[in-house]
């Protein structure tokens, strides 16, 4: 946990960031990869000789590639075309096979993972149904995702001696925000929980969407729908690509934190929340991933 000192204006709440980009494969998704795999093994859903598959814009795919291959599994990731090439190379370096799925239209500006992953989830569903000895992680609806980040939330409480007034995080499939919110609300029912989403989202959560219209439970809904229906999230705010990039650059240059663009989005919104709450409060967020996956292109991706 790091207290930000240079990118935070005077007269606002203190902002603390959990440096999740320092996890072994470079993102907070290492937590859910291990949790999902171990829980699936315990249930008997994942066995030696199986292949792990997942739809991912990058970080979960990388984490599953790292954890899965270390535990002796083959890993295949289905990824939307248009993601940065670094992500593919990192996954392949761990030994995973990466399938790029062509999407209708191009990806411009910031990327809402819950939207662009739909086609890749459909591919995973097809593979799961047609290929024996295959386990689809289903991060978007897997309760082990939220479970992993409930532990993250308890760590935050321990690190700050329970003094947390607000938590802010980007929403990809919702596991981080929902899991941490569950932990905070157990002890701090009045803590403010704020989600961030890309300003270019086609179906914004901030406007009441809980899934991409026309999609079924096999490929959509899941954690996001449960989270938004739970009442635990106070609001969801849009963050633009430009704002996310600008803050991530400042975090690298002024704070020495070599984190990615989603970290910039989180801190940008955390500063806004800190302004609203005023001095004497603690606002917490996470730095989800490492800068190394944004070197060829800067884009806010959830």
User: Residue 41: helix, strand or coil by DSSP?
Assistant: helix
Cβ atoms 287, 261 nearer than 8 A: no
Pairing of strands 134-136, 51-55: parallel
Annotation says 29 is catalytic: yes
Q: Is-contact 164 156, C-beta < 8 A?
A: yes
- 238 catalytically annotated: no
Residue from 18, 29, 182, 298 carrying the catalytic annotation: 29
Nearest CA-CA partner of 20 in 195, 259, 184, 239: 259
Could you tell me which of 180, 190, 186, 184 has the C-alpha nearest to residue 266? 180
Q: How far apart are CA 286 and CA 118, in angstroms?
A: 25
Written as six digits, the tokens of 61 are: 């795919």
> Which has the closest alpha carbon to 171: 254, 249, 113?
113
Q: How far is residue 38 from each of residues 56, 89, 99, 107, 127, measured CA to CA in Å?
A: 19, 26, 25, 34, 22
Q: Residue with structure tokens 């609203």?
A: 276
**Among the options 27, 170, 262, 263, which is catalytic?**
262
Q: How far apart are CA 124 and CA 10, in angstroms?
A: 48
SS3 274: helix
Tokens 């989600």 correspond to 195
Where in the sequence numbering do the catalytic residues fall?
29, 262
């Amino acid at each position: 946990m790091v207290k930000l000192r240079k990118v935070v204006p005077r007269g606002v709440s203190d902002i603390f960031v959990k440096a999740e980009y320092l996890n072994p494969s470079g993102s907070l998704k290492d937590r859910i990869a291990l949790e999902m795999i171990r829980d699936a093994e315990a249930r008997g859903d994942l066995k030696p000789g199986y292949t792990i598959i997942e739809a991912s814009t990058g970080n979960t795919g990388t984490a599953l590639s790292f954890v899965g291959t270390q535990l002796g599994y083959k890993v295949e990731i289905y990824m939307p075309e248009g993601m940065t090439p670094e992500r593919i190379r990192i996954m392949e370096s761990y030994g995973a096979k990466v399938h790029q799925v062509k999407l209708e239209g191009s990806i411009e500006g910031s990327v809402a993972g819950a939207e662009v992953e739909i086609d890749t989830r459909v591919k995973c569903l097809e593979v799961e149904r047609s290929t024996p000895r295959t386990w689809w992680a289903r991060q978007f609806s897997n309760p082990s995702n939220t479970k992993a980040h409930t532990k993250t939330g308890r760590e935050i409480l321990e690190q700050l001696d329970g003094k947390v007034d607000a938590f802010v995080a980007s929403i990809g499939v919702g596991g981080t925000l929902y899991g941490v919110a569950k932990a905070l609300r157990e002890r701090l029912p009045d803590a403010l929980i704020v989600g961030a989403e890309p300003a270019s989202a086609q179906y914004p959560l901030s406007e009441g969407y809980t899934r991409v219209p026309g999609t079924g439970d096999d490929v959509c809904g899941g954690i996001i729908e449960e989270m938004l229906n739970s009442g635990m999230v106070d609001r969801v705010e849009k963050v633009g690509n430009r704002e996310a990039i600008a803050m991530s650059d400042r975090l690298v240059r002024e704070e020495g934190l070599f984190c990615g663009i989603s970290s910039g989005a989180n801190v940008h919104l955390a500063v806004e929340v800190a302004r609203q709450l005023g001095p004497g409060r603690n606002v917490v967020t996470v730095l989800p991933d490492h800068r190394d996956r944004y070197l060829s292109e800067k884009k806010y991706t959830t």
